[in-house]
Amino acid sequence: MTDTERPSGVAKAVVPAAGLGTRFLPATKATPKEMLPIVDKPAIQYVVEEAVDAGLDDVLMVTGRSKRSIEDHFDRAYELEEALRAKSDTQRLHSVRESSELAQVHYVRQGEPRGLGHAVLCASAHVGDEPFAVLLGDDLIGRDEALLRRMIQVREAYGGSVVALMEVDPDQVSLYGCAAIEPTGEDDVVTVTDLVEKPAADRAPSRWAVIGRYICDPAVFDVLRDTPPGRGGEIQLTDALLQLARRKPADGGPVHGVLFRGQRYDTGNRVDYLRTVVEFASERPDLAAEFLPWLRDFVARNPAADDA
């Protein structure tokens, strides 16, 4: 298929979920980190909901061993549903059915954890020669932000691939891939000219960090097949995107960035995960009236809060 024949619309989402979750051991010894609850809903469901809200209801999960509970969560639970129906518990029955009715969810296994780039490459047979979205489960985006929709619009306008960029503090740049950027005619859209995976603060090309949302041109698959292991001995998606950034549109380039200044929740480490749970609980109408007064009282009477 030539570039002029290549589909331009984004219709599929890929959610890598094969990581070992070592930061949350021992909780993740038998439970996937993606299934850790944000109040009463697993984090990965928020990610799938975001994809669906952006019009992508064909979702491929890239999983690994010990991830079966993810498949179970997005499947029907007939015995549980029947028990709730017998009790006339319509609210919980709806919440149980909701995940199985969200999207067409497919699965492929990543045999060994070889990096994000390799996880994306595992999606090549399902995605085919179409542009697609990649959503990382560690990053939750506020429901009102419409970041993914905006990235799809940028892909349709400029072609190539699109990354989400968020400005971070200097002491945080070493935790991300960081981009060198040039302005375009739109305030929130930039051209990416360089990408560096987890640079030292004094070597970062900017403070604009790549967060866990991507729109990838299908040309990324051929690049990933030839991409050697990079930082950490893993195949990095950042390295493949850097190659595409240097290409012309006919060859799968370039790469643009959407400058995101909205609400993002990081659930990739314990402290930020706890912050996310507290924020989500505080914003829930059914919980806030009881939870917030308790939280204020707890902070007021906890000596450790003053010493922190």
Q: What is the pLDDT of residue 241?
A: 95
pLDDT tens-digit series, residues 221-268: 999 999 888 777 789 899 999 999 999 999 998 999 999 999 999 898
CB within 8 Å of 3: residues ≥ 6 apart: 249, 250, 251
Q: What is the pLDDT of residues 119-152, one digit of tens each?
A: 999 999 999 999 999 999 889 999 889 999 999 9
Give the model's pLDDT for residue 66: 81
Distance CA 170, CA 150 (A): 27
Dist. CA 211–CA 107, nearest whole Å: 23
Strand pairing of 161-167 and 208-216? antiparallel
| Domains of the chain as residue ranges with CATH | 12-268 (3.90.550.10), 269-301 (no CATH)
Q: What is the mean pLDDT of residues 53-57?
A: 94
What span, in angstroms and rounded, lies between the C-alpha atoms of 49 and 183? Answer: 31
**pLDDT above 90: residue 117:** yes
